[in-house]
Amino acid sequence: MAHALTEARLSHWMQQLGPRLIRLSAGICRDGHQAEEIVQEAFVKLWRQPPEAGEVAFSSWMRRVVTNLSINALQRTKRPGKLPELSNDPALRCRDLTERQREAQEDLDRVRRAMDALDESKRAILLLRAQEQLSYEEIAEHLEVPVGTVMSRLNRARAALLEEMKRQRGDASGGAADEPAVFEFRKYKQA
């Protein structure tokens, strides 16, 4: 049986993992308030019954719990929402943006709209890869599926994202020029 957590250790893990888990949940369920509640629920689960492997497993265990709780919450509510703002930088929102900044913001907005249109499982696997920067092996462990399944799900999710971006733009042609904006999504998000 796993050892019980002290309040001090729980507080440490909340500070260590909380912000990242909230971003992950908000990316999946598109609701910052709901994401905070989901992460709180996950920490209650951690407090009540930590994983058998101990603190070394907390990060991956919590990521799995938050992902599952977020997807379950979405499936229960099935209400539309928006992706959270990924940048709080006022310079990206001011009127006097440089042309390069404007183009980057437009690319990011296109990706956000396309991500918003994807189903939660596709959005979740893309966020685990791009936002959480997990390897295929880590995603496979997280989702408890084989690495090949992760590869095929990511491939389908990326294809769906590209298709959605083309659809939103009204372009039924090849769209190969759009691919770098999608695959360089990581460069637009905050660290």
DSSP 157-177: HHHHHHHHHHHHHT--S--GG
More confident residue, 4 or 7: 7
| pLDDT number for residue 115 | 85
Give the residue from 15, 44, 77 where a domain finishes. Answer: 77
Q: Convert the pLDDT of each residue in 125-151 to its tens digit.
A: 888 888 888 888 888 888 888 888 888
pTM of the model: 0.51
Rounded Cα–Cα distance for residues 17 and 39 (Å): 9
Cβ(60)–Cβ(102) under 8 Å?
Answer: no
Indicate if 181 and 98 belong to the same structural domain: yes
**CATH value at residue 109:** 1.10.10.10
Q: How many residues belong to the chain? A: 191
Does the residue 88 lie in any domain? no
Give SS3 for 95.
coil
More confident residue, 25 or 191: 25
Indicate if 32 and 110 belong to the same structural domain: no
Range of the domain at 124: 94-185
| pLDDT number for residue 2 | 53
Indicate if 108 and 177 belong to the same structural domain: yes
Indicate if 116 and 145 belong to the same structural domain: yes
- CA 146 to each of CA 60, 136, 141, 149: distance values in angstroms, whole numbers, following the listed order: 16, 9, 8, 5
Indicate if 100 and 155 belong to the same structural domain: yes
Indicate if 42 and 108 belong to the same structural domain: no
Give the residue from 77, 112, 128 where a domain finishes. Answer: 77
| pLDDT number for residue 183 | 43
Does the residue 144 lie in any domain? yes
Does the residue 49 lie in any domain? yes
Indicate if 144 and 70 belong to the same structural domain: no
Indicate if 15 and 45 belong to the same structural domain: yes
Indicate if 114 and 58 belong to the same structural domain: no
Query: What total of structural domains would you count in the chain?
Result: 2
Query: Residue 182 above 60 pLDDT?
Result: no
Q: Convert the pLDDT of each residue in 66-124 to its tens digit.
A: 988 888 887 776 554 444 444 555 554 554 456 777 777 777 778 888 888 888 888 88
Cβ(169)–Cβ(117) under 8 Å?
Answer: no
Rounded Cα–Cα distance for residues 28 and 31 (Å): 8
Query: Residue 191 above 50 pLDDT?
Result: no
Rounded Cα–Cα distance for residues 41 and 69 (Å): 9
Indicate if 47 and 103 belong to the same structural domain: no
What are the contacts of 77-84 at 24+ separation with CB within 8 A? Answer: 81/29, 81/30, 81/31, 81/116, 82/30, 82/112, 82/116, 83/27, 83/30, 83/112, 83/115, 83/116, 84/23, 84/26, 84/27, 84/30, 84/32, 84/35
Does the residue 85 lie in any domain? no
| pLDDT number for residue 78 | 59
